[in-house]
Amino acid sequence: MEEYELPVLLVNEVGGICGVLEAHVDFLKTHFNLITMKEFLENKNILSKKVQAIYVWWHKPVIDHELLQSLPNLKVIANSGVGMDHLDLKLISGCGIKMANCPHAVSSSTADTGMALLLASARRLVEGCQIAVSLDTECFAPDWLGEEVTGATLGIIGMGNVGYKIALRAKAFEMKILYHNRKQRKEEEEQAIGAIYCKKIEDLLQQSDFVMLAVTLTPQTHKLIGKRELELMKPTAILINISRGLVVDQEALLEALRTGIIKAAALDVTYPEPLPRDHPLLKLKNIIITPHLGIKTHKTTRMITEEAVANLLAALNGLPMPSEVLPD
């Protein structure tokens, strides 16, 4: 085997469904010797001591005890998004390995996706497109109406980087903005976006025309929105989820959409992803489901890789990582 002058970075694969994007490979190779899981497994005896870093793209490779034990010189793992719920942080930290995510790169793109889903669901754009292109359409019904966005009340659950950028966008639509968060934002930050803090999630749910979920998945947010929460919402309200599928009880949501407890939903995330093709949510007309598009732009995916590389190199050089994640 050749000598490795650059640090060795392990990735799942290049291209494919769960591989790093081919467009990013040249950039990665300027800083690392890149090896895939296939190459690693085929040359495990030689490569196991050389791998110093792992780049997790779209939850792959799977970081388990067996892999960690086989990499004695692994120093750092960088994740290609914000959510770390697919990683056992205590296991990784217990092995003396640093971890990082990419919160800065993803926030604008994810906020854009949230607003796109809000607008699409309010104005029934997907249904409208289907009507406009249908061969059976002879005229457009004058009473086929959507909901007004300008001046409506938006409740944001989770006011981190993404939630705050959603509020900035909503302000441009002259929306009244409520938010619920573990911690209240500083007064000057609230004033900048015109947001009102709701200490109780119930108050937000009862008042909002649109409810946007922008939280990380934790034991506390697992099925945060269930039957009780949906019943607190207005029957004209629309739920938008851009966080993680498991933040919403999908069975309760299905029933709420079927029975008119809420008007509609727009989901960029589900569990599992994708849903089984016979899943009843896919048969409803008052729902939009997109394939986890939050970060999927050319610019954002490149920024994610750049942020990940900055974290990896910092850790390997003994410097503070810009986006280090510590176990709770």
Beta sheet of 238-241, edge-to-edge order: 195-197, 176-180, 153-157, 210-213, 238-241, 264-267, 287-289
pLDDT band at residue 17 under the 50/70/90 scheme: confident
% residues pLDDT > 90 (the chain): 95
| Residues labelled catalytic | 244, 273, 292
pLDDT score of 83: 87
pLDDT score of 1: 43
Determine the average pLDDT of the residues in 221-228.
Answer: 98
pLDDT score of 284: 97
Tens digits of residue pLDDT in 286-323: 999 999 999 999 999 999 999 999 999 999 999 999 99
Place of tokens 């056992």: 88
The listed CATH number (3.70.10.10, 3.40.50.880, 3.40.50.720, 3.40.50.2300) that belongs to domain 8-105+297-317: 3.40.50.720
Determine the average pLDDT of the residues in 92-110.
Answer: 95
% residues pLDDT > 70 (the chain): 99
pLDDT score of 70: 97
Tens digits of residue pLDDT in 172-209: 999 999 999 999 999 999 999 999 999 999 999 999 99
Q: How far apart are the first and last CA of the chain?
A: 40
Q: What's the fold here for domain 107-289?
A: Rossmann fold (3.40.50)
Alpha carbon 266 to chain centroid, angstroms: 14
Tens digits of residue pLDDT in 243-257: 999 999 999 999 999
Determine the average pLDDT of the residues in 39-64.
Answer: 96
Tens digits of residue pLDDT in 132-154: 999 999 999 999 999 999 999 99
- Per the prediction, the chain carries an average pLDDT of 96
**Domains 8-105+297-317 and 107-289 fall in the same CATH topology:** yes
pLDDT band at residue 81 under the 50/70/90 scheme: confident
181 vs 37, 153, 163, 220, 237, CA distance in Å?
39, 17, 10, 12, 20
Domain definitions of the chain by residue range: 8-105+297-317, 107-289
Q: Is residue 6 over pLDDT 60?
A: yes
Calpha distance 304→296 (Å, rounded): 10
